[in-house]
Structure 1
Amino acid sequence: MSDGAGGGRARPKRADARRNEAVLLDAAAAVFVRSGVEAPVRDIAAEAGVGMGTIYRHFPTRADLIVAVYRHQVEACAEAGLDLLARSATPYAALERWINLFVDFLVTKHGLAAVLQSDAAGSDALHAYFLERLVPACAQLLEAAAAAGEIRSDLEAYELMRGVGNLCVGAGHDPRYDARRLVGLLVAGLRRPH
């Protein structure tokens, strides 16, 4: 795996180092969802139960942390699809739960845009990664719910994800705007009438 900076091969991380990094990324994602990507690092450290130095050791800059959270959330959303299908009562219930994860991810993603303004190539690469990993996960959930007769079958995963994304834009700027409620109405509208 290339580290991108020096072109060399990065050494694989030990299992405990990967777990520690995942804890930091989960904590940062939770804080970003609540308070935005400009939240103080001390809040992330408190959420993770570590010192601020630990965060800076793993992520020297805020941009490094935000990009890592973005990638971590993409992977969590991508991997959640099959797990939710296996653990949910119905494919539609799995789709609803996945969309809620996706909304949390989008809150962080919108903050990422400001961080990457000066890096168009990096932003484009992350967007391509996002589509490559998440469109198939959403499509799988839509197909399962449509095959079960729970939702209409004429919706593309990209369309739904784009609609959810548009409903989430600006949610952090207006306390009266409840993006999650509107997304819930959108997803409810997919149901087939009984």
Structure 2
Amino acid sequence: MCFKFYFLQVSTWAMTKGIDTQKVLGYCPKDMKADICVHLNRKVFNEHSCFRLASDGCLRSLAMYLESNHAAPGDLLYHTGESVDALWFVVSGSLEVIQDDEVVAILGKGDVFGDEFWKCAKTGQSAANVRALTYTDLHMIKKEKLMEVLNFYKAFANSFARNLVLTYNLTNRVSVEKINMFGFGSLDQ
């Protein structure tokens, strides 16, 4: 465990060069802080069409709420049954989605996972575990903060709902049918 922690620290150091972004941003005036946050989240904004029609003010609001996260190989981001209260954007690295001890998806750069809570008010439970396969960088926004921005920027909310496609919805169970070597039926019969 110490060995893994050491490599996570080395990976984090390589990404941040030892700079605590939140601490530095705490010293900045609000406008400068928003500009820096937009810059730090530019990869996410440029990569996903759901942000294409966002005004500068909307992007600044979203950027203030997006959090950067790093995961080391083997780290679990979600456990089965856990509340899915955030939307995750994979910036680099890869993750696996595991349901009933079966890998049902591999996520990588550009993928988005979580729940479609902006379409319905309730928060669902994860039907799978999500585990990092490699050192992974992610940007995440909590449900409450995203809903706050969507409620304020109504035109953007409509565009966001139409254009954001989840790569993997954690609240949906995947039906995995095992095929025998002849391609007929299920092995579980």
- Output the TM-score relative to the length of structure 1: 0.30
Higher helix proportion: 1
TM-score normalised by the chain length of structure 2: 0.31
